[in-house]
């Protein structure tokens, strides 16, 4: 097997040219070829190119999936609370170890969940248990499906291959910035569910963890919708919006600490403006352009997050009386607008108390203010960037029209964000405009509020990944403070599955 790095192609060249390069290196016909990584180098707008890492061989290669058998001991009864990426990948890995987990998910299957989301966008009637935050696939299922991560875990490869195995486009396995797309994610998570149930696991929808029992410091039972069931292990893959679950855990004595996060708005531009700024005149022949910006021009750091080329801003509330926004793209990324979270660092000093759940109270206060600013019917408050910078009200749109499906209402950002945050955003926008031309365009649109960037808390766990004072309970994924996106959450789910398997086998 030969691995080749830093192979380059121009945007107009076909990938079959890589095979010919491999044949020259091997001095033989290629019988096995695989792209390991593909990324776009656009640093020089006059010399934009794709950069590849590939592996090849002049012999047939066959991927063999390791199958793990139960070696000893009694089959443990493992419950996983949450069917997001952490919960699903934990279940998939447990099955490889011979353990048949039970996933309990307060929301609905992805097909029914999609219908509830569309109904909310149309009518403004929110289902608190089935929405963009809750349901099969977790928050990520309806928020773009970006799989790039800043973590360097060896488990990331298993996550990418898992997505491809269950129906994601093959390029997800090797692109430098892989993106499944919300349209593909729905199919992928449904395929994962079928695999889990076909291999002895259970997936129960409209089923919420409502309590648990501990004997001699160890989990003995869980309560699902109030019904007691004996359990050996409980994986808390609940996501960052499971506020009532966090209240339950705190009451039961689980150690929770505050964690810093970020809040702000969604900023929308024309995708063509972003493409021209990033690629120059050749932008139309290249993939929809992305950006990632950080500014330290103000007292607080400002950064972009979850950038969605050709995407839309989506209503993402999970509690009545609050407006929450997020962003998503379909796989084609062919929408007219680009959007990104534009957020400001939140510090513990911003919370009104030292209570472990004070970050949730901070989020909720902003979300309720945005709800009022938008007219109390889940329309999102919007303001033009130019008016925001000038301290003026907005009354009309320019070329950029907001994509928030529930509708919008003009309101100043100051109506829902504190002054420290609005002043930081203003300085950050102007600073970022110096690096990305058009970022501060007058008619770019700010939509609020972006409040669920990450979990505002961390549930403490020890070296064995169990909660520090309760054996058999495993805090997991983004909601418990151990991940920051789909890939890292899924990797943490796999990590927890390994820990459970080591304990019992």
Tokens of 116: 């509830």
Give residue 72's pLDDT band: very low, low, confident or very high (50, 70, 90): very low
Q: Which residues does residue 261 pair with via DSSP β-bridges, in sequence order?
A: 346
Residues of the chain above pLDDT 90, percent: 81
Q: What is the predicted pLDDT for the residue at 63? A: 47
- pLDDT tens track for 216-249: 999 999 999 999 999 999 999 999 999 999 999 9
Q: What is the predicted pLDDT for the residue at 68? A: 41
Is the pLDDT score of 98 beyond 70?
yes
Is the pLDDT score of 214 beyond 90?
yes
Q: What is the predicted pLDDT for the residue at 396? A: 97
DSSP 256-298: EEE--EEEEEEEEEEHHHHHHHHHGGGGGGSSPP----EE-SS
Whether this prediction's pTM lies above 0.75 is answered by yes
- pLDDT tens track for 190-203: 999 999 999 999 99
The stretch 88-93 carries a mean pLDDT of: 97
Is the pLDDT score of 418 beyond 60?
yes
* Cα 291 → chain centroid: 17
**What does pLDDT average to over the chain?**
93
Q: How far, in Å, CA of 408 to CA of 440, rounded?
A: 21
The stretch 409-434 carries a mean pLDDT of: 98
Q: How far, in Å, CA of 368 to CA of 236, rounded?
A: 27
Q: Are 133 and 241 in contact (CB under 8 A)?
A: yes
User: Burial, 14: exposed, middle or buried (Cβ in 10 Å; 0-12, 13-18, 19+)?
Assistant: exposed
- For 309-407, strand residue ranges (E) read 312-315, 325-328, 337-346, 380-384
- pLDDT tens track for 18-42: 999 999 988 899 989 989 889 999 8
Q: How far, in Å, CA of 18 to CA of 9, rounded?
A: 8
- pLDDT tens track for 109-168: 999 999 999 999 999 999 999 999 999 999 888 877 788 777 778 899 999 999 999 999
Cα-flanking dihedrals φ and ψ of residue 18, to 5°? -65, -35
Give residue 177's pLDDT band: very low, low, confident or very high (50, 70, 90): confident
Q: Which domains can be identified in the chain, with CATH numbers?
A: 2-57 (3.30.70.2700), 78-258+455-504 (3.50.50.60), 261-450 (no CATH)
């Amino acid at each position: 097997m030969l691995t080749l790095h830093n192979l380059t192609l121009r945007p107009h060249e076909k990938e079959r040219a890589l095979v010919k390069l491999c044949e020259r290196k091997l001095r033989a016909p290629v019988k096995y070829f695989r792209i390991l990584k593909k990324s776009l180098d656009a640093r020089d707008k006059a010399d934009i190119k794709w950069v590849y890492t590939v592996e090849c061989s002049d012999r047939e290669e066959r991927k063999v999936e390791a199958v793990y058998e139960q070696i000893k001991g009694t089959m443990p009864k493992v419950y996983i609370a949450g069917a997001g990426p952490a919960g699903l990948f934990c279940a998939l890995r447990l099955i490889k170890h011979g353990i048949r987990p039970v996933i309990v998910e307060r929301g609905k299957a992805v097909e029914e969940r999609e219908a509830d989301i569309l109904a909310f966008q149309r009518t403004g009637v929110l289902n608190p248990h089935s929405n963009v935050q809750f349901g099969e696939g977790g928050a990520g299922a309806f928020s773009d499906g970006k799989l790039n991560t800043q973590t360097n875990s060896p488990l990331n490869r298993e996550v990418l291959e898992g997505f491809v195995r269950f129906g994601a486009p093959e390029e997800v396995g090797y692109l430098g910035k892989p993106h499944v797309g919300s349209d593909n994610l729905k199919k992928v998570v449904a395929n994962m569910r079928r695999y889990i149930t076909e291999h002895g696991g259970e997936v129960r929808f409209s089923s919420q963890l409502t309590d648990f029992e501990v004997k001699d410091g160890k989990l003995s039972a869980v309560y699902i919708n109030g019904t007691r069931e004996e359990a050996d292990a409980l994986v808390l893959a609940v996501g960052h919006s499971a506020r009532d679950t966090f209240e339950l855990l705190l009451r039961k004595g689980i150690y929770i600490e505050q964690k810093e996060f970020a809040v702000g708005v969604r900023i929308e531009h024309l995708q063509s403006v972003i493409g021209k700024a990033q690629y120059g005149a050749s932008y139309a022949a290249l993939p929809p352009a992305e950006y990632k910006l950080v500014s330290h021009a103000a007292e607080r750091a400002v950064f972009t997050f979850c950038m969605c080329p050709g995407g839309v801003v989506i209503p993402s509330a999970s509690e009545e009386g609050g407006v929450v926004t997020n962003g998503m793209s379909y796989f084609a990324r062919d929408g007219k607008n680009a959007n990104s979270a534009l957020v400001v660092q939140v510090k513990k000093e911003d919370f009104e108390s030292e209570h472990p759940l004070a970050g949730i109270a901070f989020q909720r206060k902003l979300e309720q203010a945005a709800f009022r600013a938008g007219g109390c019917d889940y329309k999102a408050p919007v303001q033009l960037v130019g008016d925001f910078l000038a301290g003026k009200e907005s009354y009309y749109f320019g070329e950029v029209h907001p994509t928030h499906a529930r509708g919008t209402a003009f309101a100043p950002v100051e109506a829902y964000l504190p002054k420290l945050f609005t002043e930081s955003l203003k300085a950050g926008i102007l600073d970022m405009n110096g690096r990305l031309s058009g970022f501060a365009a007058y008619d770019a649109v700010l939509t609020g509020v972006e409040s669920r960037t990450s979990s505002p808390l961390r549930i403490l766990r020890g070296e064995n990944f169990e909660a520090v004072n309760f054996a058999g309970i495993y805090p997991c994924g983004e909601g418990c403070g151990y991940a920051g996106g789909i890939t890292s959450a899924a990797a943490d789910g796999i990590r927890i599955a390994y820990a459970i398997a080591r304990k019992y086998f």
